[in-house]
Structure 1
């Protein structure tokens, strides 16, 4: 697929930033496994900021793409699941939180992805808030473990709030996908990429 500017759909700066998010995931998890130190906190912040940067660049440069619409949420879900799993293994996050995140992601993937890729549902405000709160709470949890261990319990409350939002957002996507028409109308485009 080629854009109106003659470049392949995937060849955009925002997609490069999203790919950097994939590349940063393994080093982030390794550093978290070794202990939530300053380097782990900084690299996690860089990883998290790529989600905001790729969307900002996509809009500012007019480089939204079908590829970005597909790989951006994959990078979010895969990254958060891997980081949450690592935090469970180092006893910063309870297993129940990881299980809930994974079950909601699996259900949403199975029941709503087709509608999203078909342009029948778009990213919701609730979904954006959910992702922001989840990423922020995970970052604050790692920062607290590294710099203020006494605050870990308080930050875990925020993490559970984010998990609750994750459940609500997943349910919202599934409900909207079930109500969406099977065939997109002629004027509808692909889902919002960022």
Structure 2
């Protein structure tokens, strides 16, 4: 249910940010979306409730939220286009490495804690950068803080992408594909 709410918040966020440029309201929606995402995961763990739909919908909504936020921030000039390209390219590259694991009958690699930290830093940077769009004293402080977080988070994101890619290369080199194993045995 919370994933559906988050999904519905995406077009509202985009409208507020790109239409009337109601940055304060857009920031509130962005923060509500993040809180709802956290609450969704927390409740699922505490209550031991998961569903097949939730398992599919949650990561889809996560990606849609990130992509739409990055695209809107580029359109508004809040972040440079190349930062969005780097962040999206890293995710596309890592999605491609999942084929290496799948072809070998292996689960995806263990999550690297530093990768979670990088994502967290970027998820903090985006609302801080949105808060920096005004002319208040808060905006004056938020701007350098937001860009510092974005730079640091992007660097960590790229670094962990390289680590995940390296792991996939090692698996590709040292673990035979399942269809190759089947032919060798047959």
Measured against the shorter chain, the TM-score band is 0.7 to 0.9
Given candidates 143, 157, 164, the residue that maps to 2:155 is: 164
SS in structure 2 opposite 1:145? Answer: coil
**How far apart are 1:86 and its partner, in Å?**
0.5
Given candidates 141, 146, 169, the residue that maps to 2:129 is: 141
Asked if the contact 1:36–1:145 (Cα under 8 Å) also holds between the matched residues in 2, the reply is no
**How far apart are 1:113 and its partner, in Å?**
6.4
**How far apart are 1:84 and its partner, in Å?**
1.1
Asked if the contact 1:137–1:155 (Cα under 8 Å) also holds between the matched residues in 2, the reply is yes
The match for 2:181 is none
The match for 1:42 is 28
- For the pair 1:20 / 2:8, whether they are aligned, the reply is no
- For the pair 1:124 / 2:124, whether they are aligned, the reply is no
- For the pair 1:150 / 2:150, whether they are aligned, the reply is no
Bigger Rg, which one: 2
The match for 1:12 is none
Flag the structure with higher helix content.
Answer: 2
**How far apart are 1:157 and its partner, in Å?**
1.9
TM-score (norm 1): 0.74
**How far apart are 1:67 and its partner, in Å?**
4.6
Cα deviation, 1:60-108, whole Å, max 9, x if unaligned, reads: 0112455544433332222112101101111111111111011111111
Structure 1 residues 73 and 164, CA, compared in 2 at 3 Å: closer, same or farther?
farther
The match for 1:111 is 97
Moved over 6 A (4+): none
**How far apart are 1:142 and its partner, in Å?**
0.8
Kindly report the root-mean-square deviation, in angstroms, between the aligned alpha carbons of the 2 structures. 2.6
TM-score (norm 2): 0.77
Asked if the contact 2:16–2:26 (Cα under 8 Å) also holds between the matched residues in 1, the reply is yes
Structure 1 residues 138 and 164, CA, compared in 2 at 3 Å: closer, same or farther?
same
Matched residue count: 168
Structure number with higher relative contact order (C-alpha < 8 Å, ≥ 6 residues apart): 1
Asked if the contact 1:141–1:155 (Cα under 8 Å) also holds between the matched residues in 2, the reply is yes
